[in-house]
Amino acid sequence: MLPYLKNMMEKEKNRSAKIEIHELKPLVPLQKSHKLSSLRNKSTGGQAERKPADGLLTGQHNELLTYAQTLIDLKIKSIMDSYPSGRRMKLFTVRFGSMESIKMMTIACAFERLQIDTGKINLKPLANKNYYGNQVE
């Protein structure tokens, strides 16, 4: 190998190895800020409950919800994979909104926002349910 190519390759290895990532804490804790908590409530639609609903759906509806969740997860994954690795969350949020806001809206709205073909699934039994199976007003 030519000496100048070897030097260039070594410089490139050293340059890429010097990347450091630092996380900064917010100046105001999220629990103590009323403005931040109101923004958080507004973005989630004021719903604090994010746990899956147990026992609220029948067996067939539960399978339908699981299928809808799988379709939503696969679409989100395919969209995220199409973006550059360092900017995935930011670009996804700009185009579609946060993942949590998508999961808090009704399944029909999530399908529409993510442009999922609704011919694959009957959304009528899940008309007012979100990703977690909770009722959405």
**Cα–Cα distance measured from residue 129 to residue 124, given in angstroms and rounded to the nearest whole number:** 10
> Is 42 domain-assigned?
no
Within-domain flag for 32: no
- DSSP at 29: -
**Residue 33 has what pLDDT?**
72
54: containing domain? 48-137
Residue 136 located in a structural domain: yes
For residues 23 and 103, give the distance between their C-alpha atoms in angstroms, rounded to a whole number. Answer: 26
How many C-alpha atoms does 102 have within 13 Å on its Cβ side? 22
CA distances from 107 to 4, 55, 98 (A): 59, 18, 15
- What pLDDT was estimated at residue 54? 46
Is residue 103 domain-resident? yes
Residue 127 included in any domain: yes
pLDDT number for residue 48: 47
| Domains identified in the chain, total number | 1
pLDDT confidence of residue 136:
83
> What are 6's two structure tokens?
């070897």
* pLDDT tens for each residue of the chain, 137 residues long: 566 667 766 766 665 555 566 666 667 666 677 777 777 777 766 554 444 454 455 667 788 888 889 999 999 999 999 999 888 889 999 999 888 999 999 998 999 999 988 886 788 888 888 888 888 87
Residue at 115 is within a domain: yes
Alpha helix stretches (DSSP H) within 83-129: 88-96, 99-104, 107-114
